[in-house]
Amino acid sequence: MSTSTALNSIATRDHGGPDILCEDLVRIYSTEGVEIQALQGLNLRVEPGDVVALVGASGSGKSTLLNILSGLDKPTGGRATVAGVGLGSMTRQQRVNYQRHTVGFVWQQTSRNLMPFLTAAENVALPLLISNARERRERVGELLDLLDVSDVRDRRPAEMSGGQQQRVAIATAVANNPSVLLADEPTGELDDAMSEIVLESMRDASEKLGVTVLIVTHDPTIADHVRRTVQIRDGRTSTEVLRHTEVDEHGVEHLVAQEYTVIDRAGRMQLPSGYMTELDLRDRVRLELEQDHVGVWPDAERHHPVEPEPHHPVEPEPNRSVAPHPAAPTPAATPTPASESSDGADPAATERADEKPATRHTGSGGATAVGHRPPVEDKDPNAAFRPPKEDQ
Ligand SMILES: Nc1ncnc2c1ncn2[C@@H]1O[C@H](COP(=O)(O)OP(=O)(O)OP(=O)(O)O)[C@@H](O)[C@H]1O
Ligand SMILES: [Mg+2]
């Protein structure tokens, strides 16, 4: 790919924070009296210049999120901010400006991205109509060159391959120096070789133009092209994989990938489904705070039910009130699972559980403190979450 042209226009930002910030984002669709919760309190933060892949099963909410971030749809609740612009309360005109200058999009259907009756060069020039003719010509030349599609500049979309169309679409989407480029399945209609080229083009565009890129994809090769992959499950971000290269003692470079579970501000997180199956974790789990990690154990009572202790009610003496013993333990909330894969989790309950992770109800009416050490046979290193050793 030619990169010889000096790009004289790159994304500039006058906001200080992340380029994409979603906080407890909710989107509920109501169709024929049925409510579908497509996003269920999604949190996501993407820093300027990052290239992030968003993956997840069909129906997990990926396109819903991109539609909100692109200003085509509004969230039902929560907050979304892109390049410092709050998306919740924009006027029509602000929305048009936002779509013209702050974000660019590339969709899966090649036909949706380009005007069929315009050439590649004319398509890229379209968002630049406010620039003068000379600036426009230069910018179009730079972008077609950067995306390696100069050779098709005078062809219409029907006369290009799918990969060429998507690269012209990327050039068109970034023509106005947006801070953020959003792409929903940009390689969905392409073969493997062409997908590779298009994904590499997006990364290249990010590096050269300073644009932040969020790509929704099912493409299994995405891991080769991005440093960060975020998985979305049931309308929430659930896990992330971060990759970096390390050089070993022989000077050989290795790609190191580390998987993380996402935890939100209320302490909610989703355990990987493989862990849940392996240890039969469901309904509730027990947490233990260790020096540098939190242990998660299956609910021992479900596996080995505890016999309730015999109940001996104390009869108060006549005419004397019974004050609670000062040393008596305060009844505590039943520990809340570390993973809230079900809906409507009560953040307060999670916080209460955080305060007394080693306290459980026995069913006898009072709370009974259990030992701070879990039974040895229950402790499985797979269930212990250690914080990352280093920031990546
Ligand atoms: N306009 C709509 N009206 C009603 N329900 C919708 C609408 N759009 C999406 N949904 C529902 O919201 C949920 C999330 O849909 P979404 O399109 O975001 O999924 P996705 O992760 O992009 O899936 P895919 O990988 O198949 O594209 C699904 O259950 C879907 O049926
Ligand atoms: Mg989709």
**Domains of the chain, first to last:** 20-245 (3.40.50.300), 282-385 (no CATH)
Whether the Cβ atoms of residue 369 and residue 329 lie closer than 8 Å to each other: yes
- Please work out whether the CB of residue 132 comes within 6 Å of at least one atom of ligand 1: no
- Please work out whether the CB of residue 263 comes within 6 Å of at least one atom of ligand 1: no
Q: Looking at ligand 1, which atom is closest to the CA of residue 64?
A: 18
> Lowest-confidence range among 238-252, 263-277, 302-316, 328-342?
328-342
Report how far apart, in Å, the C-alpha atoms of 262 and of each of 144, 190, 289 are. 38, 31, 18
- Please work out whether the CB of residue 110 comes within 6 Å of at least one atom of ligand 1: no
- Please work out whether the CB of residue 235 comes within 6 Å of at least one atom of ligand 1: no
- Please work out whether the CB of residue 38 comes within 6 Å of at least one atom of ligand 1: yes
Average pLDDT of 67-89?
92
C-alpha 327 to ligand 1 mean position (Å): 54
Residue 336 is inside which H or E element, if any? Answer: none
Q: What's the order of all strands across the beta sheet hosting 20-31? A: 34-46, 20-31, 77-82, 85-86
Radius of gyration of the CA atoms of the chain, in A: 27
Residue whose CA lies nearest to ligand 1 atom number 30: 59
Average pLDDT of 177-194?
92
Average pLDDT of 82-104?
90
Q: To the nearest whole number, what is the mean pLDDT of the chain?
A: 78
Residue whose CA lies nearest to ligand 1 atom number 6: 29
The reply to whether the predicted model has a pTM over 0.75 is: no
Average pLDDT of 297-305?
76
Q: Is the pLDDT of residue 45 over 90?
A: yes
Q: Is the dihedral of CA 91, 96, 101, 103 positive or negative?
A: positive
Closest CA to 255 of 264, 245, 263: 245
Residue whose CA lies nearest to ligand 1 atom number 16: 61
Residue 146 is inside which H or E element, if any? Answer: helix 133-146
- Please work out whether the CB of residue 56 comes within 6 Å of at least one atom of ligand 1: yes
- Please work out whether the CB of residue 60 comes within 6 Å of at least one atom of ligand 1: yes
Mutate to test the pocket of ligand 1, among 26, 40, 44, 62 (most ligand atoms within 8 A of CB): 62
Of the pLDDT bands very low, low, confident and very high (cuts 50, 70, 90), residue 32 is confident
Report d(CA 67, CA 191) in Å as an integer: 25
Instruction: Give the pLDDT of residue 311.
Output: 58
Q: Within 13 Å and on the Cβ side, how many CA atoms surround 238?
A: 21
Of the pLDDT bands very low, low, confident and very high (cuts 50, 70, 90), residue 354 is very low
Q: Looking at ligand 1, which atom is closest to the CA of residue 56?
A: 21
Report d(CA 13, CA 21) in Å as an integer: 15
C-alpha 90 to ligand 2 mean position (Å): 24
C-alpha 58 to ligand 2 mean position (Å): 7
